[in-house]
Amino acid sequence: MTPDVNVLVSAFRPDHPHHLSARAWLDDAVVQAANGRSSLSLMGTVVTGFLRTTTHPKIFLETDTLQDVSDFIDSLLSCPGVQFQPQGTTWLNLRQVCLTQQVSGNLVTDAWIAATVMQSGETLCTFDRDFSRLLPTDQLLLLKP
């Protein structure tokens, strides 16, 4: 299982409207990973987006410090069963997703995440319904806000 940017941001920020559902999912995913029942992978693209979003003054009036957001990621990665996923060569999958779905603009980052999920065999956890057109249903877990 792997979260997208919005799930990490929601789980991290108590003032986010989806905080409770995202945090409940993340806490459960960490427990499942620690018990060896499932994997929990953090993708570089997602971590980068998380850092960018939580520290951006045009997104949040009260931004988080880079130290705080880095500590959050470090705390997740220190849990048993949680790993930072190397992304390897996703170009062929990214190309296929973009061409098949005619992805452009803001959806390109989502396409990159979808391509990485497909390559790794993971399941993406997200609030973002756009992934419904980018991933097969067996690789997608849509959370309800």
Domain CATH for 87: 3.40.50.1010
Query: Which tens digit of pLDDT belongs to each residue from 2-55?
Result: 999 999 999 999 999 999 999 999 999 999 999 999 999 998 889 888 998 999
Query: Which tens digit of pLDDT belongs to each residue from 97-125?
Result: 878 888 877 788 888 889 889 888 899 99
What was the pLDDT predicted at 89? Answer: 67
Which residues touch 4 (CB under 8 Å, ≥6 apart)? 46, 110, 113, 124, 125, 126, 127, 128, 131
Which residues touch 94 (CB under 8 Å, ≥6 apart)? 111, 112, 115
Q: How many domains does the chain have?
A: 1
The pTM is what? 0.80
Residue 44, classed as helix, strand or coil, is helix
Cα–Cα dist 110/117, whole Å = 10
Q: Which domain holds residue 99?
A: 2-142
CA-based angle 63:68:71, to the nearest 5?
150
